[in-house]
A and B are shown apart, each in its own frame.
Chain A
Amino acid sequence: MNTLLAPGDGLRRWWSERSRGQKWIFGVLGFGALALLPLYTPPFLDTPGISFGGTMAQFAMVAIIAVGLNVVVGQAGLLDLGYVGFYAVGAYTVALLTSPDSPWNQVGHGEWFAEDWAWLSCVPIAMAITAISGLILGTPTLRLRGDYLAIVTLGFGEIIRLLADNLSGVTNGPRGLNEVAYPRVGQSAELPEGVFSSGNSSGNANYGTWWFWLGLILIVAILLLVGNLERSRVGRAWVAIREDEDAAEVMGVNTFRFKLWAFVIGAAIGGLSGAMYAGQVQYVAPPTFNIINSMLFLCAVVLGGQGNKLGVIFGAFVIVYLPNRLLGVEVFGINLGDLKYLFFGLALVVLMIFRPQGLFPARQHLLAYANQARRLLGGAERKAPS
């Protein structure tokens, strides 16, 4: 079982041996290939029951979430089970500001936003508000022990959903908010509302594909941001906290402050993904933010490899793609697409026993000059860390 789950190691090692320039080249090629995937879909990858572009758009959103959750869980070692709450805050911020069903609608003549730019203007607002909600939740709770933090965040995620459900004067309750704004770009005679509208539903370059491309750009931006943070003092503080909080504290790391940073940055990224969701689906309702999705996001991070930001993107792909691919495939009269939670639950259990570090384990960035040190040490570090 151990060797069966190990192929990630080779890839991981190959990647970490590339120089920075080579990583850039391969990264650009990789993302370019990914971007072309919806246009030239290989038949074995296609999802028969559902639009491939839509699947990839969903993948992009979950990938953003996974990168954000990875900052919290993988980098700083804080188990956040209520991450879907931040996703919900982001989505509802956009929906409340732009949906005609909302009492706080700000789109139209004499209001804050022009229709064409409403979604884009709401994105930074959504990120700021989720970051603030992360601050509000984190300030009291991050002083708690790790396992308590998990339960409190779980409670937070559930409270956000219940609020969305119950405050029907504002959120329209279970009926949800319709006609959320989306970017109006590329209008033409056939597509009067632009390429991002749900009217653009035929062919390979449908609105899902366009949202996927937008998502890819956002992913790259976030990866650069998070990568820089990882290499900075902040990133080293996170690793120190994750490995041994007491030791980090003794070494003069202000653990509470850096944990709060991780929490707030993770929340803002979750809010960004939520804003994307609201724009793509153009409809926001409470059931989407069910707590079980939190577990699914966590599964993406754990599966890909906690702390490895490219690994968790792969994890997100597995989480989104497999259920869509298996949709409609029946075994013993059971639709395999339905069994996603069962499979992912099993995957979590099996991984935790045989490979707790995930498919693509993170390289430990304990040294600021890791590459030089590695060159000096030669092959000594090749022994797999346990």
Chain B
Amino acid sequence: MIGQGLFQHSWLAGDIGFNVENLREGFWQFTIDGLAWGAIYALVAVGYTLVFGVLRLINFAHSEIFMLGMFGAYLCLDMILGFAPSGNAYSLGVTMTVVYLGAAMLFAMAVSGASAVGLEAVAYRPLRRRNARPLTFLITAIGMSFVLQEFVHFILPKILPGYGGSNAQQPIILVQPRTQFEIFGATVTNVTLVIVASALVLALLTDLVINRTRFGRGIRAVAQDPDTATLMGVSRERIIARTFLIGGILAGAAALLYTLRVPQGIIYSGGFLLGIKAFSAAVLGGIGNLRGALLGGLLLGIMENYGQALFGTQWRDVVAFVLLVLVLLIRPTGILGESLGRARA
């Protein structure tokens, strides 16, 4: 192989692999797992993209909205629905599992949506009123990201014993990953099916809301030209609040799906990396563009898996970052272009 010749005698040999065989053998498996990851990235990316489209702001704290959603889902399962964390999966039958998961997802959506709207009202609205510089918004976003993370890290355990703190939550496993069917020699598990199907439905719904409803028209109008939109009777403030709400709701849904895939991932710092990747996905598809975010999410998920197969598991995160840098250098407007208003998406 080409790659091995290159690295054979160098000190990198043990650290970076270049395993084409591995990628070729497991190609379809990597693709399908990548789709599940990508669906989660896509849902989170929509939050970045909508806010960027309307406000030209990178909502750095969006990853923390996602993190709060994970805790919301966990709280619902644990306290409201009464599942105790245990090493074994509950087997409740398909219908009941779907009902419980749906309830947890709704709760996570409520938590994330409410905190996104709250974040906007507390941190960003005062800045808009003062006509702050873009850099000021970004620094505020970083500050809020700190505040939310550290709140869950240190304050939450004092309010709700057993929640937050330095360690991840004990997983509550409702769905035991089980192979449903095979396609091209790759196995598709029930978890993958649930993730991809729910994400698809939510993405379609969001697309409908943005493109077909009066409210969506308002968002597109503000994204295209805030001043003219205001003159036409669109309340900019209300549109902004609702944009944050939609982003938050989708992040909440993504949070529940993520905990299905990674049950042990509910931790105060669990949003950061995923947030960066979702942002990369949004940029990849064209930030500010709804369909771009969905496409970018799926692509990023798949490519990350291919990268992992080629170079080794520990390089997974590097692949996403390198991809982000490359996209920004080669085509900063992303695959589908930037505008929320003009691209009709």
Q: Which residues of A contact B (CB under 8 A)?
A: 77, 79, 81, 103, 140-141, 144-148, 150-152, 154-156, 158-159, 162-163, 165-170, 291-292, 295, 298, 302, 332-334, 338-339, 341-342, 344-349, 352-353, 356
Using A158-B317, A341-B150 as known contacts, say yes or no to A170 and B11 having CB atoms under 8 A apart: yes
Most chain B CB atoms below 10 A, which of A77, A140, A334, A353: A353
A146-B328 CB under 8 A given contacts A298-B139, A348-B139, A349-B123? no
Q: Measured between alpha carbons, how far is A344 from B142 in the docked complex, in Å? A: 10
CB distance from A74 to the nearest CB of B (A): 11
Decide: B146 and A352 in contact? CB cutoff 8 A: no
Docked-complex contact A148 and B158, CB < 8 angstroms: no
Tell me whether B89 is interfacial, beta carbon within 8 Å.
no
Beta-carbon contact of B14 and A169 below 8 Å: yes
Beyond A168-B15, A169-B15, A342-B153, 20 extra complex contacts between A and B, CB < 8 Å: A140-B329, A144-B332, A146-B134, A155-B280, A155-B324, A158-B276, A159-B322, A166-B16, A166-B314, A167-B12, A292-B146, A295-B142, A298-B142, A341-B153, A349-B123, A349-B140, A349-B144, A352-B132, A352-B140, A353-B126
- Tell me whether B133 is interfacial, beta carbon within 8 Å: yes
- Assembly CA distance A93 to B318 (angstroms): 21
Query: Could you tell me the distance between the alpha carbons of A68 and B138 in the complex, rounded to whole angstroms?
Result: 20
Contact A151 B279 (CB under 8 A): yes
C-alpha spacing A188/B235, complex, angstroms = 75
Residue B205, interface by CB 8 Å: no
B194 on the interface (CB 8 Å rule)? Answer: no
Q: Does B262 sit at the interface, judged by CB under 8 A?
A: no
Q: How far is the CA of A356 from the CA of B15 in the complex (A)?
A: 45
A-B residue pairs, 9 tightest by C-beta = A345-B146, A348-B143, A342-B150, A155-B321, A345-B147, A349-B143, A352-B140, A345-B143, A341-B150
Residues in chain A near residue B325, CB distance under 8 A: 140-141, 152, 155-156
B90 within 8 A of A: no
Cα distance A329–B40 in the bound complex, in angstroms: 41
Give bound CA distance, A344 to B276, whole Å. 21
Q: Provide a sorted-by-A list of 9 A–B residue pairs whose CB atoms are within 8 angstroms.
A: A146-B135, A147-B138, A169-B14, A295-B146, A338-B154, A344-B146, A348-B140, A348-B143, A356-B132
Query: Does B58 belong to the interface (CB within 8 Å)?
Result: yes
CB pair A348 B328 closer than 8 Å: no
B313: nearest chain-A partner, CB-CB: A166
- The residues of B that contact A341 with a CB separation of less than 8 Å are 146, 149-150, 153
B127 is an interface residue with CB less than 8 A from chain A:
yes
Q: Which of B134, B151, B328 has the most CB of A within 10 A?
A: B328
> Once the chains bind, are A155 and B143 in contact (CB under 8 Å)?
no
Report B-chain residues with C-beta under 8 Å of the C-beta of A170: 11, 15
Complex Cα distance, B135 from A79, in Å, reads 7
Once A154-B276, A159-B318, A159-B322 are accepted as A-B contacts, the answer to whether A342 and B138 lie under 8 Å apart by CB is no
Closest CB-CB distance, A15 to chain B, in whole Å? 25
Report Cα–Cα, A103/B272, bound state, in Å.
Answer: 33
| CB contact between B328 and one of A141, A334, A338, A345 (< 8 Å): that residue | A141
B31 within 8 A of partner (CB): no
Is B305 an interface residue, CB under 8 A from the partner? no
Give every chain A residue within 8 A of B126 (Cβ-Cβ): 353
Q: Could you tell me if B139 and A352 are in contact, using CB atoms closer than 8 angstroms? A: yes
Give the chain B neighbours of A353 by CB distance below 8 A. 123, 126-127, 130, 140
Q: What distance in Å separates the Cβ of B153 from its nearest Cβ neighbour in chain A?
A: 8
Asked whether any CB of chain A lies closer than 8 Å to the CB of B215, the reply is no
Chain B residue with the shortest CB-CB distance to A165: B314
Q: Does B145 contact A (CB under 8 A)?
A: yes
A103 in contact with B11 given A159-B318, A162-B317 (CB within 8 Å): yes
Count residues of chain B with CB under 8 A from any CB of chain A: 52
Complex Cα gap A339–B142 (Å): 16
Q: Are A352 and B143 in contact (CB under 8 A)?
A: yes
List residues of chain B with CB within 8 A of the CB of A151: 58, 276, 279, 283, 324
Give B3-30 as 1s and 0s: 1 = Cβ < 8 Å from A's Cβ atoms: 0000000011111100000000000000
> How far is B145's CA from A144's CA once the two chains are assembled, in angstroms?
24
Chain B 301-345 near chain A by CB (<8 Å), digits 1 or 0: 000000000000011011001101100110010000000000000
**A317 CA to B216 CA in the complex, in Å?**
48
Tell me whether A345 and B144 are in contact in the complex, defined as CB-CB below 8 angstroms, given that A170-B11, A352-B127 are known contacts: yes
Structural contact, A352 and B324, CB atoms closer than 8 A: no
The verdict on B155 contacting chain A, using a C-beta distance below 8 Å, is yes
**Residue of A145, A342, A344 most packed against chain B (CB within 10 A):** A342
The docked-state distance in angstroms from the alpha carbon of A79 to that of B153 is 27
A268–B345 alpha-carbon span in the complex (Å)? 44
Chain A residues with CB under 8 Å of B329's CB are 140-141, 144
Nearest CB in chain B: distance from A152 CB, A: 6
Least CB distance, A225 to chain B, in whole angstroms: 25
CA distance A155 to B325 in the complex (A): 8
- The CA-CA distance from A347 to B146 in the complex, in Å, is 10
**For A145, what are the chain B residues with a Cβ–Cβ distance below 8 Å?**
332
The docked-state distance in angstroms from the alpha carbon of A353 to that of B283 is 28
| Cβ–Cβ < 8 Å partners of A141 in chain B | 325, 328-329
State whether A77 touches B135 (Cβ < 8 A): yes
Closest to B142 in A: A295
- Contact of B179 with A by CB under 8 A: no
A159 with B135: CB separation less than 8 A? no
**Which residues of B lie under 8 Å from residue A348 when comparing CB positions?**
139-140, 142-143, 146
Cβ contact within 8 Å between B328 and A339: no
CB-contact partner of A342 in B140, B155, B283, under 8 A: B155
Q: In residues 272-287 of chain B, which contact A (Cβ within 8 Å)?
A: 272, 276, 279-280, 283
Q: How far is the CB of A27 from chain B (nearest CB, A)?
A: 29
**Chain A: which residue is nearest B322 at the CB level?**
A159
**Chain A CB within 8 A of B230 CB:** no
CA distance A77 to B139 in the complex (A): 13
For the complex, is B136 an interface residue (Cβ under 8 Å from A)?
Answer: yes
B136 and A356 contacting across the interface, CB-CB below 8 Å: yes
- Among the interface residues A144, A147, A165, A302, which one has the most CB atoms of the partner chain B within 10 A? A147
Whether A339 pairs with B150 at a CB distance below 8 angstroms is yes
Distance of A341 Cα from B322 Cα, bound (Å): 28
